[in-house]
Amino acid sequence: MSTDAVLYDHPGPRARARNRIFTVVFGIALVALLYWIYHRFDVKGQWAGTLWKPFTQSSTWTDYILPGLKGTLQAAAIAMVLSLAFGILFAVGRLSDHRWVRIPAGIVVEFFRAVPLLLMMFFIFFGIPFVTEQPMSPLWAVVIALTLYNGSVLAEAFRAGVRSVPPGQSEAAYAIGMRKGQVMGQILIPQAARAMLPVIVSQLVVLVKDTALGYIISYNELLQMGVNNVAANFGNVIQAAMVAAAIYIAVNATLTAVAGWLSKRTRRSGKAPRTTRVLAGATDQTTGA
Amino acid sequence: MDVFSDADNLDVYVTGFLWILKLTLVGTLGAVVIGTLLAAFRVSPIPVLRGFGAAWVNIFRNTPLTLIVFFCYFGLYSTLGVVFSDDLELNNFWLGVVGLAVYTAAFVCEAIRSGINTVPPGQAEAARAIGMTFRQTLTMIVLPQAGRAVIAPLGSILIALCKNATIIGTIGLMESSNAMKELINSNGQAVFQIFFVFAGTFAVVLIPTGYGFGWLANKMAVKR
């Protein structure tokens, strides 16, 4: 945290005293808040051992939580692969020289980025069966909706990535006689993908979180199995939600760490600008959906 | 056969989007206030505040909003007995607002913090050199400049919030996605029409909003 010290002077005796007072006051407020939560739990009997005990039994994990986690990761993995393909396809489409490719690709990407994921999922799960006259599998409703949304987001990321490649690269490729497809496939996309790798991994975090929407259309993922079903059996919603939240946080924190490591690796190998001195320490940004 | 010429159906549609509008407005207010405060915490000289901000961001940014909203309803309301209003629908609305604000605040905090990073360190150093305190440096020098850099990311966060407002339907508010589900189930012959009206409403409002924020960000950008 020593890098943050640009915003304030090194504390002298008076500032140290003031900081100590703030620390104590805020610490007391925080402890009071925690105590209030503890007390509230106590009043409602939420600390009862029977509510927490299911999580020490292996059957709870093997019957509910782990199958749920598997459902979450499965949907996220399939959707990730499909949305990468979707993203590359539509990014190339939007960068096309032909207007009749560029404009439809642009409309598709803008449309699916603007429509809420849940609305999309409801349409696929409840609406499409009226047309096809056969039931929709919840897994595919989740996967298709996630693909359309995240694919569009990735398409925009790829497009930005391709445009960030220095123009000299494609000029050089054209100069040695490469054709448009070759320039895109062999010169631009590999460089863009490398620069965009952290963004792709961050989007994976969004994807893992968004699989939780599958709960609403009764897809057996972590929220459905690990919270809803566990709570239905043991009557411990709060405890189950806390355990599930901890699992989500662990999975996503791991992915975020991978993204951070990747972006550091890309930076180290030369092309991206060196880190400069900043005011607020390292940040990473993913706009969550 | 036009689904939306029926007054009842039109009412379902309008009510659905009115809920989204209210959730977006109140949720935005909450998220921006909490998020700015968290960002200030995270750059402050006091370690407890920094830790609190960091913990908030790491917990809520990595938890699905569906789980947070679920927790607000079944945890806060059903189990712990936190009640905002006697009217059941209004109570669900406020529980939803809490979930949305708490979740989005984590993203707002990170956006503002990276906005602070776009301000050259010289600005803060100059402020310190003329004897400004941390609060003065932050509120008079750094945040006004960071605010301009933050418009674009904040815009996409608010658009995401508007779309995320549909998730409050999980706890029984008749917002747009639930309204669409109801209309689809009673008008199976016109699913595409219904979907394109609902999705189109979001697209028609949110796509220009996105470009608007882009334009504003460009206009307000600090030329360095």
Per-residue pLDDT, A269: 57
Q: What is the pTM of this model?
A: 0.88
Nearest by CB to residue A285, choosing from B111, B165, B180, is B111
Residues in chain A with CB shorter than 8 Å from the CB of B64 are 209-213, 223, 248
E strand map for B47-175: none
Of B86, B25, B69, B29, nearest in space to B173 by CA: B69
| Mean model confidence pLDDT for chain B | 90
- For the residues of A28-48, what is the DSSP string, one character each? HHHHHHHHHHHHHHHHTTTT-
Per-residue pLDDT, B36: 93
Q: Which homologous superfamily does the CATH classification assign to the domain defined by A62-268?
A: MetI-like (1.10.3720.10)
Q: How far is B67 from chain A (nearest CA, A)?
A: 7
Interface of A with B in 91-150 (CB under 8 A): 110-111, 114-120, 122-123, 126-128, 130-131
- Interface contact A237-B164, CB threshold 8 A: no
Residue reference for tokens 């996630």: A146
A41 touches chain B (CB under 8 A): yes
Per-residue pLDDT, A281: 67
Number of H helices, E strands in chain B: 9, 0
Mutate to test the interface with A, among B70, B133, B180 (most CBs of A within 10 A): B70
Q: Which helix H or strand E contains B189, and what residues bound it?
A: none
Mutate to test the interface with A, among B142, B195, B198 (most CBs of A within 10 A): B195
Per-residue pLDDT, A266: 73
Per-residue pLDDT, A54: 83
Q: From CA B32, how far away is CA B37, in angstroms rounded?
A: 8
Structure tokens at B73: 């309803």
Residue in A with minimal Cα distance to B64: A209
Residues in chain A with CB shorter than 8 Å from the CB of B142 are 7, 279
- Average pLDDT by stretches of 10, chain A with 289 residues: 63 87 92 89 81 83 88 93 94 92 94 93 92 90 95 92 91 94 90 84 88 90 87 85 92 88 72 60 53
Residues in chain A with CB shorter than 8 Å from the CB of B70 are 215, 223, 227, 241
Q: What is the DSSP letter of A127?
A: I
Give the model confidence (pLDDT) of B101-153 as tens digits: 999 999 999 999 989 988 888 898 899 899 888 889 989 999 899 988 899 99
Domain ranges, ordered by start, for chain A: 62-268
Torsion angles phi and psi, residue A12, rounded to 5: -90, -170
- Interface contact A7-B138, CB threshold 8 A: yes
Structure tokens at A187: 């010169």
Per-residue pLDDT, B60: 93
**Exposure b/e, A92-118, CB count within 10 A at least 16 = b:** bbbbbeeeeeeeebbebbbbbbbbbbb
Per-residue pLDDT, A39: 87
Residues in chain B with CB shorter than 8 Å from the CB of A4 are 43
- Interface contact A123-B180, CB threshold 8 A: yes
3 state SS of A282: coil
Q: From CA A80, how far away is CA A67, in angstroms rounded?
A: 20
Give the model confidence (pLDDT) of B175-218 as tens digits: 999 999 999 988 888 899 999 999 999 999 999 999 999 999 99
Which is more confidently placed, B34 or A288? Answer: B34
The ipTM, to two decimals, is 0.88
Domains recognised in chain B with CATH numbers: 3-220 (1.10.3720.10)
Q: Residue B10's Cα: distance from chain center in Å?
A: 27
A6 touches chain B (CB under 8 A): yes
- Interface contact B163-A115, CB threshold 8 A: yes
Of B107, B181, B119, B110, nearest in space to B149 by CA: B119
Mutate to test the interface with B, among A7, A23, A46, A205 (most CBs of B within 10 A): A7
- Interface contact A127-B191, CB threshold 8 A: yes
- Interface contact B160-A213, CB threshold 8 A: no
Q: From CA B79, how far away is CA B71, in angstroms rounded?
A: 10
Residues in chain A with CB shorter than 8 Å from the CB of B176 are 116, 119
- Interface contact B62-A256, CB threshold 8 A: yes
Angle of CA points A118, A119, A122, to nearest 5°:
85
